[in-house]
Structure 1
Amino acid sequence: MNFIITATLNAIKQIYNEEIAESVINIQETRKEFEGQVTIVVFPFTKISKKSPEETAKAIGEYLVENVEDITAFNVVKGFLNLSIAESYWINLLNNELLSDDFGKVKANGQKVMVEYSSPNTNKPLHLGHVRNNLLGYAVAELLKADGYEVFKVNLVNDRGIHICKSMLAWEKWGNSETPDSSGLKGDHLVGKYYVIFDKEYKKEIEALKAEGQTEDEAKKNAPLIKEAQQMLLAWEAGDEEVINLWKKMNGWVYTGFDISYKNLGVDFDKYYYESNTYLLGKDTVDEGLEKGVFFKKEDGSVWIDLTADGLDQKLVLRADGTSVYITQDLGTAQMKYDDFEMDQSIYVVGNEQDYHFKVLFLILEKLGKSWAKGLHHLSYGMVDLPSGKMKSREGTVVDADDLVAEMIDTARQKTEALGKINDFSDDEKEELYYNIGLGALKYFLLKVEPKKRLLFDPSESIDFQGHTGPFIQYTHARIKSLLLKANYKVGVKSLAFGALSETELEMIMLLAKYPTEISTAAKAYSPAFLANYLYELAKLFNKFYHEVPPIVKEESEALKQHRLNICKLTADVLKSGTKILGINVPERM
């Protein structure tokens, strides 16, 4: 709508002999109860006109209708100027912009952005929380890519520490040389099994020590198992060959398992970082901070930063014995990532329980004078809950990601078969369809909600072919593809002026035209929910359009038929393009 902005600037200059900044002009979509398609907010202009909002709007409206061919009428509601745009404008927009091969594509903006997501621990499989993290991180990365950024997807794997040693020790004690091949378990599930075994045996030891008179805290510290795990960690840090070899072997099992889970979820990464390689980083940054007076050293030799003036607290950055704390590693890793990629922005996709940690981390980096610190962003997201009893996890505590994916595919199979519309599909086509519907339902349900919100995920509700769901959008796409095939759609034939556009046709063109803006809005907000909900509104409006117009295949007017098929084709393209950004596949037929 750039021509309206230009025309409004000209109107104000001609009527009031004043020039204003383009940013002052606020253009909105006209509310459905009023005539017109575009609304200009007039209130900011009254300082120049020295007249009421209504008089100002009337004067500008008269000028626009008289001087701009594509503006055919206006009406004034208080301080709002509603404009009616000529049908020819919308037809030209459809032909020349929306149906072009470049529609929805953005030129590279020269900016680099890193999106760090997943960040699993190698002592257990991915769970439901990881699913939201992975799907959110992937979708945000793809959104930014679609908005013109050069994007790097990275995964920082927590592959060291006491929790890893717990799995290793339990496998040594009770594993009987069990492997993924001998057990038939995915590697991450096998290692997770021994983490659970450690926990059960550790609790038994704690109870035994408490029965001997020790307190809970004493028993937790004195249990033989935890002491052995701590000794194993010290041996790992000292480079003990036997411990390192066991660590490599079990982590190798986990990575093979993770790769399968990532493939099933449809996510990928450009680079992996491993905490086993980064846990010693950050000490140079601490020295730098001491030199600059950003950090201070206490009498015991520990190093701190005082953030009380910033409304936070004092934060330990190096222990008295010279060992790192978690934030020390994060300071060093942040520097290393910047040195590797020199990105303009770096987005950390991490749950909201880490809000305070990232607030502190970013503030410290700013105080250290890191020029890139302003580009750091914590994409905080809420927990995912399941209705009680809907799914049982393998261990009874958290919902396993692989179990969830399998459940979604199975639910998709049951619901699709109940409709009885795929009898002519081959077995391979059926399995692909069940996968696409199941994963589409899962991804859409998790992405349509603003990241910060906690959400309740119901697997069955998410696979509804008529609701606010991924399968509804997928079904709409398949319906359009079927229609285009039946109608023998001709690619590249433009829509022609043929008479008045129906209200719904006009709504379709206007909504389709918003697609690039929706991508940009979602990318800037780091929120796939904007795009997800736009795609649903588009699918919903298309179904209204489809039911309102006479059967397109039987339309006698070739011009009208082609025009409506153009709208159908464009809708299918936008649905396919938009869902691809979200990581969702739309089938050609369902």
Structure 2
Amino acid sequence: MANSIQQRLIEQTAHAVSALYQAEIPTTQITLQETRKEFEGQITIVTFPVTRFSKKSPEQTGAEIGEYLKANIAEIVDFNVIKGFLNISLADSYWIDLVQRVMLADDYGKMPRNGKRLMVEYSSPNTNKPLHLGHIRNNLLGYSVAEILKADGYDVIKANLVNDRGIHICKSMLAWQQFGAGETPEQAGLKGDHLVGKYYVIFDKEYKKEIEALKEQGQTEEEAKKNAPLIKAAQAMLQQWEAGDDAVISLWKTMNGWVYEGFEKTYNQLGVDFDKYYYESNTYLLGKDIIQEGLEKGVFFKKEDNSVWIDLTAEGLDEKLVLRGDGTSVYITQDLGTAQLKYDEFQMNESIYVVGNEQDYHFKVLFAILKKLGKPWANGLFHLSYGMVDLPSGKMKSREGTVVDADDLMAEMVETAKLRTEELGKTEGFTEEEKAVLYNTIGMGALKYFLLKVDPKKRLLFDPNESVDFQGHTGPFIQYTYARIKSVLRKAEYTESLPLSSVDNLSVYERDLIQSLGNYATVLSAAASEFSPAQLANYVYDVAKLYNKFYHEETILKAEVESVKHFRLHLSAVAARIIAESMRLLGIQVPERM
């Protein structure tokens, strides 16, 4: 629905209350919604809030307001009242004009810049292992939220804070030193992140062996974990790294370089990118000045061992350590400093952290501390918390048996798409190169859509086979609909300059499709304000469903009247454009043919 008719309905309803009942109702209390499919009409006004002014039943109130609106808004041709719901029917001329005057304009669906800047931080991998299934949901969410916000008029910075230091990377480095015999990614035939991950697993295996050996010598498990030579060597290596030891720094740079090359290949296949990288090795010392500032303000307090804490019990949290007694940072120290660094650099209005829900408490603490410190930008911080992704057991191979590798998953998705597409015979006339592109487009589209159509907060079960169903609530169904529209337009040799004369009336299928296409800007803004790609994903599925109904019920290329054929072709072109743009904002490509 175009905002103009919605706005006029709201304004005229307020005027109706004033004229009929001599009362003023705030426009924020007037609610519009789409009319349910079982009733006549397209827009419904909820009349319950008005009954306190009318002192009449919801039905009578609705009838009186309906008569007023029909007399004052030319586009209204009829109305009906079902209980407390006033269902408005708009003239076909309104919907036809909406296509001709609004939807076919070059700038349809494009939002003006709003002057606000946001940062979306996502991915945030550790450099001791490859990306996994959880990272895929993280990256897809972050990328799509950023693209949706950009489309809604924001200036967006996509950021990636890489966890490239600490005991975890020292474990991989040490294992490579002791067991690697100089192995490189090229020699191993592995991506660099997989090679480094291999040595992280080796460290864990050898560490467990040492623990068992020490336990056999009489040590408790706790003692053995602390005294195992490997963990002591890893801790010593971390100290050497922090002291700037040349040999350790050199090895660290080499192995992280391997990982970054591997990550880049995964990001490219996933179709995500970043404007700004932050590295923990550069930020881990940040935050100590903020701790000092908080001590001076009385926000923090010291305990006898000289450690620094904050009491957040009044906020429903607890006491939180922010600096150890020996003056070394804890994780939140670094996060405080990095938050300040990001704001100083970009002066953004809002900053969104895309991080799994296991970190919910951490972000509540981080944001509470920054607010207590009086940081004016702290109110613009938001944790986009998302649930875990589960797989049906046995559906997916995993390198370590516990974590599903991102590269393996994407490769298997493309293979599944290939098998399903060939079964359905949808590649006639394609070259081998075109087939490979198509399988990748469908496989990645299936993966992305399945993960993005679910509300981010919900845990989800990802079924690879279900996701590549060409008839279900899936990415391939939407992609196939787009390819179908493009096929119709090609056969008609459609161009935007095709004459567009008015048509007399619309079928219910045309009207439903136009109404849905008219909702694009509203859905986009809602998805942006709630940081929810799921809203856009479900919207574009509805558009695809409505187009298919229209396609099956109405003749397009063989329409008896030329003006009707032209109108339906233009309507098809608008549907293709909205589907393509919606899918682009989800990071999903659409094929020109299938």
Q: Do the structures match in fold with TM over 0.5? A: yes
Report how far residue 490 of structure 1 moved: 3.5
Name the aligned partner's letter for residue 400 of structure 1: D
Task: Indicate which of 479, 483, 487 corresponds to 1:482.
Answer: 487
Q: For 1:273-422, list aligned pairs within 5 A.
A: 273-422=278-427
Secondary structure at the residue paired with 1:406?
Answer: helix
Task: Indicate which of 145, 156, 176 corresponds to 2:181.
Answer: 176
Any gaps of 5 or more consecutive residues in structure 2?
A: 1-5
Report how far residue 495 of structure 1 moved: 4.8
Deviations 1:4-57 (A, max 9, x none): 223323333333344433222211111222221111112222333333322222
Task: Indicate which of 111, 115, 118 corresponds to 1:110.
Answer: 115
Task: Indicate which of 501, 510, 527 corresponds to 2:506.
Answer: 501
- Structure 1 distance, partners of 2:592, 2:515, is 25
Which residue does the alignment assign to 1:563?
567
Say whether the 8 Å CA contact 1:382–1:451 is kept in structure 2. Answer: yes
- Structure 2 distance, partners of 1:135, 1:34, is 38
Say whether the 8 Å CA contact 1:91–1:495 is kept in structure 2. Answer: no
Which residue does the alignment assign to 1:25?
30
Which residue does the alignment assign to 2:586?
582
Task: Indicate which of 210, 224, 228 corresponds to 2:229.
Answer: 224
The 1:508–1:494 alpha-carbon spacing in structure 2 relative to 1, beyond 3 Å, is farther
- Structure 2 distance, partners of 1:116, 1:458, is 27
Say whether the 8 Å CA contact 1:95–1:494 is kept in structure 2. Answer: no
Deviations 1:443-498 (A, max 9, x none): 00000011111111111111111111100000000010001111222314465443
- Structure 2 distance, partners of 1:397, 1:82, is 54
Which residue does the alignment assign to 2:194?
189
Secondary structure at the residue paired with 2:557?
Answer: helix
Say whether the 8 Å CA contact 1:91–1:496 is kept in structure 2. Answer: no
Name the aligned partner's letter for residue 586 of structure 1: V
Which residue does the alignment assign to 1:573?
577
Which residue does the alignment assign to 2:522?
517
Secondary structure at the residue paired with 2:495?
Answer: coil
Which residue does the alignment assign to 2:50?
45
Deviation larger for 160-169 or 44-53: 44-53
Name the aligned partner's letter for residue 300 of structure 2: F
Report how far residue 76 of structure 1 moved: 1.7
- Structure 2 distance, partners of 1:46, 1:468, is 40
Name the aligned partner's letter for residue 226 of structure 2: K
Task: Indicate which of 149, 154, 166 corresponds to 1:161.
Answer: 166
- Structure 2 distance, partners of 1:19, 1:352, is 44
Say whether the 8 Å CA contact 1:521–1:530 is kept in structure 2. Answer: yes
Give the fraction of aligned pairs with identical amino acids, expressed as a percent: 69
- Structure 1 distance, partners of 2:205, 2:563, is 73
- Structure 2 distance, partners of 1:381, 1:478, is 32
Alignment: residue pair count: 589
Say whether the 8 Å CA contact 1:191–1:254 is kept in structure 2. Answer: yes
Say whether the 8 Å CA contact 2:503–2:567 is kept in structure 1. Answer: no
Name the aligned partner's letter for residue 232 of structure 2: K
Name the aligned partner's letter for residue 117 of structure 1: Y
Q: For 1:398-547, list aligned pairs within 5 A.
A: 398-493=403-498, 495-547=500-552
- Structure 1 distance, partners of 2:567, 2:216, is 82
TM-score by length of 1: 0.98
- Structure 1 distance, partners of 2:280, 2:588, is 31
- Structure 2 distance, partners of 1:470, 1:83, is 34
TM-score by length of 2: 0.97
Which residue does the alignment assign to 2:39?
34
Report how far residue 544 of structure 1 moved: 1.2
Which residue does the alignment assign to 1:90?
95
Report how far residue 421 of structure 1 moved: 2.9
Secondary structure at the residue paired with 1:317?
Answer: strand
Which residue does the alignment assign to 1:56?
61
Say whether the 8 Å CA contact 1:442–1:459 is kept in structure 2. Answer: yes
Deviation larger for 490-499 or 213-222: 490-499
Deviation larger for 390-399 or 275-284: 390-399
Task: Indicate which of 5, 24, 44 corresponds to 2:10.
Answer: 5
Say whether the 8 Å CA contact 1:205–1:224 is kept in structure 2. Answer: yes
- Structure 2 distance, partners of 1:36, 1:124, is 56
Report how far residue 79 of structure 1 moved: 2.2
Which residue does the alignment assign to 1:135?
140
Say whether the 8 Å CA contact 1:123–1:164 is kept in structure 2. Answer: yes
Which residue does the alignment assign to 2:3?
none
- Structure 1 distance, partners of 2:377, 2:296, is 20
Secondary structure at the residue paired with 1:372?
Answer: helix
- Structure 1 distance, partners of 2:14, 2:565, is 39
Name the aligned partner's letter for residue 35 of structure 2: T
Report how far residue 423 of structure 1 moved: 3.2
